[in-house]
Amino acid sequence: MDDGALEVVEFALTAAVYTDDRELEPDDLPAGYREVFWSDGRIERPLSATVETAREATGVDDPWEAVSELMFSDYDDFSGTISFTDREMAEQWYRERVDADRLRENPVLAAHFADEFGAEVYEQAREENRPARADRPFIDDLLAEYFEDEEEEEMLDLVDVRAPEEIEMTLDDIVLTEDQEGEITKIVKAIEHREYLAGIGLREIGKLLFVGPPGTGKTSVARALGGKLGLPVVEVKLSMITSQYLGETAKNVEKTFEVAKRLAPCILFIDEFDFVAKTRASDEHAAIKRAVNTLLKSIDEVSLVQDEVLLIGATNHPDQLDAAAWRRFDEIVNFPKPDRQMRADILRVVTAEMEIADFDPEAVAEMTEGLTGSDLRMVLREAVLDALTEERTTLTQEDLEDAVAEFEERDTLKNLDMIEGDHDALVAGGDIESGGGSHDHAHDD
């Protein structure tokens, strides 16, 4: 019997056990199984293991064919339901083929077989399982309920909530500095031991400020951290939620923090944090200044330990932050432009699935001084597209070098002041060898 049969039996058995055991909760269902059982923001009993739900949850193309030869399996042609004629036999068959490591991935069955495998296996399975409140259906239902007032619906346009399963980039896909790895390790440990921190009275922790040029990975790291920890990521751009053209700005700020607390545990990522300092030092509209003061107060009042909200601010312009902004954060994480070795490592990671003849990442890294990780991804994208125009899917080192030259030329033109007759400005914008100065791209990947 192949692995497909084990996958389908496990899925159908999980549905049956969960249906019967009323003490089990949605958090006990494996995250991959929950996806097929959500309905109107809820998971309600009985759970039905149909061919359709089994296929979606297990990836087995023909679930019934996978288990049709088993003596205890049954199939209802009308409803498409897969069930057991003898559940005790099904359970015995399953137990003979799994160990404690596999059960740690399924809290429902870990609880059901606790007498045999030990209660600690269930506790570990439950702890490692992503909570249901991090699933997209739960998030959407909560937001719909919270913003049912038409006057507040515009807030949904200001806040982008990413469920963990929607985050494709992982921390393994990102080349980090030693300091960045150290800070991430510390915050992961803090999240794992929130109860201990609360018990010893250490509450002022879990507010990070990411600083560095655009394209150095600030947003990507925040999202990847959410994926690693199984937490939704609430993203806002500060300039948007404090815009005087979008209703009551202070109320927008308060709502942002309320959304994060309702979705907790989660990550609240606030981009463009330098907007705080710009506003405080200018003659901006009074409503915007009130919003910024509300923001600073809200940051003071949110806590990783108490509210289970990890706050990450990000800025491309740390020089513009004043003391009031700096002191809100307990950790500052620097995101510099990558050095030559980091650029070579980034190239290796990004090209992992590509075919490149005579690939020399060190040579390309030597050519790309001043470029960020985001810039390098754009270079590779252009190399791939140029090769496709020649009907090639295998790249060459020359393709990459040509793409670097093209990128630097475009980047130089972008930074030129193209006002007719302003020859000094045209000359000042040059310097192709240095990568054309700053690489101020719209996104921070």
Which tens digits make up the pLDDT trace of 257-275?
Answer: 988 998 889 999 999 887 7
Mean pLDDT throughout 74-103? 96
Check pLDDT > 60 for residue 106.
yes
What is the per-residue pLDDT for 442? 36
Please say which residue of 289, 314, 334 terminates a domain: 334
**203 with 197: CB under 8 angstroms?**
yes
Check pLDDT > 60 for residue 93.
yes
Mean pLDDT throughout 287-307? 84
Nearest CA to 444 out of 217, 189, 239, 260 is that of: 217
Mean pLDDT throughout 337-342? 94
Whether omega for the bond prior to residue 265 falls within 30 degrees of 0, making it cis, is yes
Check pLDDT > 60 for residue 200.
yes
pLDDT in tens, 14-53: 999 999 999 999 999 999 999 999 998 899 999 999 999 9
What is the per-residue pLDDT for 225? 94
Mean pLDDT taken over the chain: 86
| Same domain for 312 and 202 | yes
Please say which residue of 73, 108, 129 terminates a domain: 129
In the structure, what pLDDT confidence band is assigned to residue 280 with cuts at 50, 70 and 90? Answer: low
What is the per-residue pLDDT for 431? 35
Query: Going by C-beta distance under 8 Å and a sequence separation of 6 or more, which residues neighbour residue 196?
Result: none
| Same domain for 361 and 286 | no
What is the per-residue pLDDT for 416? 55
Domains in the chain, number: 3
Name the DSSP class of 244: T
Domain-located, residue 440: no
pTM of the model: 0.80
Please say which residue of 334, 369, 390 terminates a domain: 334
Q: List the structure tokens of 270.
A: 């606030």
Pairing of strands 233-237, 159-162: antiparallel
Mean pLDDT throughout 337-349? 94
Check pLDDT > 80 for residue 437.
no
Mean pLDDT throughout 152-156? 65
Measure the CA–CA gap between 311 and 333, rounded to whole angstroms: 13
Q: List the structure tokens of 20.
A: 């019967």
| Same domain for 316 and 196 | yes
pLDDT in tens, 364-416: 999 999 999 999 999 999 999 999 999 999 999 999 999 999 998 876 666 65
**176 with 221: CB under 8 angstroms?**
yes
Measure the CA–CA gap between 82 and 236, rounded to whole angstroms: 44
